[in-house]
Amino acid sequence: MRFSDVIGQQDSKARLLEMVSEDRVPHALMLYGPSGAGKMALAMAFASYLLCNHKEQGDSCGKCRQCLMLEQWQHPDLHFSFPVIRPAGTSAEHKMSSSDFFRQWRHLIQQGPYFTLQQWLMEMGAENQQAVMGVGESSELIHDLNIKSSQGGYKVSIVWLPERMNAECANKLLKLLEEPPHYTVFILVSEEPEKLLDTIRSRVQALRVKPLSTQDIEQALIDKRGIEPDAALRIARAANGSWLAALDELDASSEKRLFLDMFIMLMRLAYMRNIRELKKWSETIAGYGREKQKRLLTYFLRLVRENFMYNFDNASLCYMTQEEENFARNFARFINEANVLEISDIFNCAIRDIGQNANPKIVFFDLATHIIVALIRKP
């Protein structure tokens, strides 16, 4: 993985390279920002750069012995930590760690550095389980990093989604950050840094990775996927700074198309005040896992915003796919200044309730009935 493989993010690349050139690489670095911006890609490229023996023109060489090992992600001085599940039938005495799922992890990252937690859960066969990092992870990390570097250079530890550490794991990691092993660099890759312990955040050098620019996504779609410029621009704008969202638009069977169908069904049934069908709708959504439910609600929030902005008849303000815009032509007028905040609050409250493990059948049926009332409001 080289910096040249990372989409956009020229400012972040420059900052990382500057740290090395000025010999002030921090012992703990946190890359944080939204999903799909390329945080993991930057982390993997930076790790490769640190471990490369023959750096050239601001990038790893891709040819030395270290780089050849990194191509297969089998370098002995590069360690990955990531949230895992506890498979059914696993003894409660066994402390789960990344090593239990490294084969699946390696398979995922060999496909590319842009992926979601949901993709990782599917790779593990998680079904509705939550992925976490427990004390087994921190114990394994302490053991691995206290071993002398096999290649005589840096030891690098990439911790993906550290916000999913439980308290015991987080406290052990804190001790590692306070007294790091010699010549070791921690790279934390976070999407919700506010969930980390304040003491951990105070001991890392944070680098915010901004959403990708529309131009960078558009060019990557043209160069990497062979998309026509007009289609690439529309997809890039709808992606809202996320390469993952752009790839999702290219997938004919994508989750987003399901979410759009469910949004259309909700609004049509609510407009018709069809309580019986809305109950069936809420039961269908309740059958999704909680992570998927939260993604669906986040998507609904975006569509509310886009339909509201569509009323201003200014194409530069709207970021919708062709399918979304086709629905908005007739529906957008029902999202107006009298109800846009109310509808947004309805979805935000549902996200909060699902996150707090409320009964999803109750949450989504309550949501549906409130949408009926909100759609009545006139500007």
pLDDT at 278 over 90: yes
pLDDT of residue 240: 85
Q: State the DSSP code for 77.
A: T
Tell me the CA end-to-end span of the chain in Å, nearest whole number. Answer: 53
Q: What is the DSSP string of 229-253?
A: HHHHHHHHHHHTT-HHHHHHHH-TT
Tell me the two tokens of residue 82.
């990531």
Q: Report CA torsion sign: 322, 324, 330, 333.
A: negative
Q: Beta partners for 319? A: none
What are the residue ranges of helices labelled H in 273-331? Answer: 275-286, 290-310, 322-331
Q: How far apart are CA 26 and CA 207, in angstroms?
A: 11
The angle at the Cα of 293, spanning 292 to 295, to the nearest 5 degrees, equals 65
pLDDT of residue 255: 79
Q: How far apart are CA 117 and CA 112, in angstroms?
A: 14
* C-beta neighbour count of 78 within 10 angstroms: 21
Q: Residue 12: enclosing H or E segment and its boundaries?
A: helix 10-21
Q: How far apart are CA 215 and CA 232, in angstroms?
A: 10
pLDDT at 151 over 60: yes
Q: What's the rounded mean pLDDT across residues 291-313?
A: 91
pLDDT at 253 over 70: no
97-135 confidence digits (pLDDT tens): 898 899 999 999 998 899 998 889 989 988 778 899 998
pLDDT of residue 315: 66
Contacts of 372 (CB under 8 A, 6+ apart): 270, 273, 278
Q: Residue 144 in contact with residue 77, Cβ under 8 Å?
A: no
Instruction: Read off φ and ψ for residue 292, nearest 5 degrees.
Output: -65, -40
Mean pLDDT of the chain: 90
Q: Residue 340 in contact with residue 308, Cβ under 8 Å?
A: yes
Q: State the DSSP code for 358.
A: -
Phi-psi category of 132—alpha, beta or left, where left has phi over 0 and alpha has psi -120 to 50? beta
pTM: 0.72
Q: Residue 37 in contact with residue 207, Cβ under 8 Å?
A: no
Tell me the two tokens of residue 325.
């815009």
In the chain, % of residues over pLDDT 70 = 99
pLDDT at 212 over 90: yes
pLDDT at 252 over 70: no
Tell me the two tokens of residue 277.
């069908």
pLDDT at 74 over 70: yes
Q: How far apart are CA 46 and CA 157, in angstroms?
A: 11
Given pLDDT bands bounded at 50, 70 and 90, which one contains residue 89?
Answer: confident
In the chain, % of residues over pLDDT 90 = 57
Q: What's the rounded mean pLDDT across residues 302-330?
A: 85
Contacts of 155 (CB under 8 A, 6+ apart): 77, 78, 79, 145, 149, 181, 183, 184, 185
